[in-house]
Amino acid sequence: MSEIRYYRHGRFCVAGGVLPDALTAYQTYGDPKNPCIVFPTCYGGRLDNRGLLGQDYMIATENEYHCLDPRKYYIVTLALFSNGESSSPSNTAPPYNGPYFPAISYADNIRAQYAVLTKALGVQKVHCVIGFSMGGQQAYHWAAMYPEFIEKFVAICGSARTSPHNKCFLEGPKAALVASKDFDNGHYKARPDIGIRAFGRAYSAWAYGQTWFRQHGYLHDGKFASLDDFLRAEWEGGFLDWDANDLLTLLHTWQSGDITESVGAGADFADILASLKPKGLIMPCKTDLYFPPEDSEIEIALMKNGSKLVVIDSVWGHMVGGGADAENMKFIDEQVAAFLAEA
C-alpha cells in the first residue's frame, strides 16, 4: 500500500464551472505489472478511513481474504471530488471555496480519474472498475465513457442513473442540513454541528432494510444500548468528520447522476445500456431502499453484452455493499472474485 498521493490537473473544467487547480487523491496497492482494478469512493467514503466508510474494506491483507488481492491485482483507489481529499469546497482557495464551489458531475470525476491512471500511473488497460453506491454509479459511467479502456465493471448497490425516488430521498438529509440554524447558507465560521447531526439522522433512515430494524440490528449484538445510541455514534459521529459544504456538493453529484449525461446531450438511456461493451456484474441488495433491485433488473434487461445480475439476499439493505456484515461480505467477495477470474 502506498501513501495517499495527489494528482494536480491544473485548470479543470467541470459541470458547474472551473477548478483553477484541481486535485485528485489516490492510493495504490500491489504491483503495477498486475491487472489493474479501479476502486473509487462512495458517498461518505474516504481513502484515509475517517468518518463513515473507509476504502480498504474489499482489499485483502495478510490476515484477511477479500476479492481485491494486491498479490494478484494492481488496485487503485480514487477519491471523488468533494470528499474532502480530492478538490472540495473545504480545501479549495477563494473564490471557489465553500458555497462557491462549482457543481461536479460523475463525468468530471471519471475524466479526472482517467488522467490519474494514464498520466500519473501509466496504466494502459483496466481489468475492472468496481464500486459500491456512488462507486457503482461511477463504474457504469466508466463503461460508457471509456469502453475500450476497461474490460469489466462491477456495480454493488448502484445504478446507471439516479432514480426519482432516490433523488427524493436525498432531499430529506439535504433539507435537514441547509435549514439548520447554524448552517448560515454555507457561510458558517465553525462546523455546523446541529445541521450535520440532523443530516446524519435523516440519511440513516433508508440505509438499512426494514427487517434489519425490526430485528434490532442497530444494537449490533450489544455494541449499542439503543436506537438513539446507534444513531448518535454511527450516523452523527460518522458525518461530524465531514465539512457540510462537501456533503452537499457530493450529494448533488449523486442526485444528478445519469449515464446519458456522460456521453452527450440527447443520448438515449436504453441505447447506451444496449451498446455497453465492458461486461458488468450488477449486485443490488434485495432490501436496498436507495438502489432497489427492480432498478437493476430494468437496466440488466437492456444490456446486450452478457452482463450478469446477482441479487444480495440480505436484510442489511444498502449498507451491505459497504462491508457492514461479514457473512454477506463473504458472498460479495466470492461473486466478484469469480467474475474477475472469468476470461
Residues labelled catalytic: 133, 288, 318
- SS3 string, 290-333, reads CCCHHHHHHHHHHCCCCCEECCECCCCHHHHHHCCCHHHHHHHH
Query: For residue 2, what is its C-alpha cell?
Result: 502506498
Question: CA 104, CA 16: separation in Å to the nearest integer?
Answer: 6
Residues 106, 82 contacting (CB under 8 angstroms): no
Query: For residue 63, what is its C-alpha cell?
Result: 490476515
**Would you report the helix, strand and coil content of the chain in percent, each value rounded to 5?**
40, 20, 40
Question: CA 169, CA 276: separation in Å to the nearest integer?
Answer: 29
- Secondary structure letter of residue 173 according to DSSP: H
Question: Is beta strand 126-132 parallel, antiparallel or unpaired with respect to 74-78?
Answer: unpaired
Q: At what angle do helices 106-115 and 134-145 cross, to 10 degrees?
A: 70
Contacts of residue 101, Cβ cutoff 8 Å, sequence gap at least 6? 82, 88, 89, 92, 245, 249
Strand partners, 20: none
Residues 23, 7 contacting (CB under 8 angstroms): yes
Cβ-based burial of 148 (10 A; exposed 0-12, middle 13-18, buried ≥19): exposed
Residues 311, 285 contacting (CB under 8 angstroms): yes
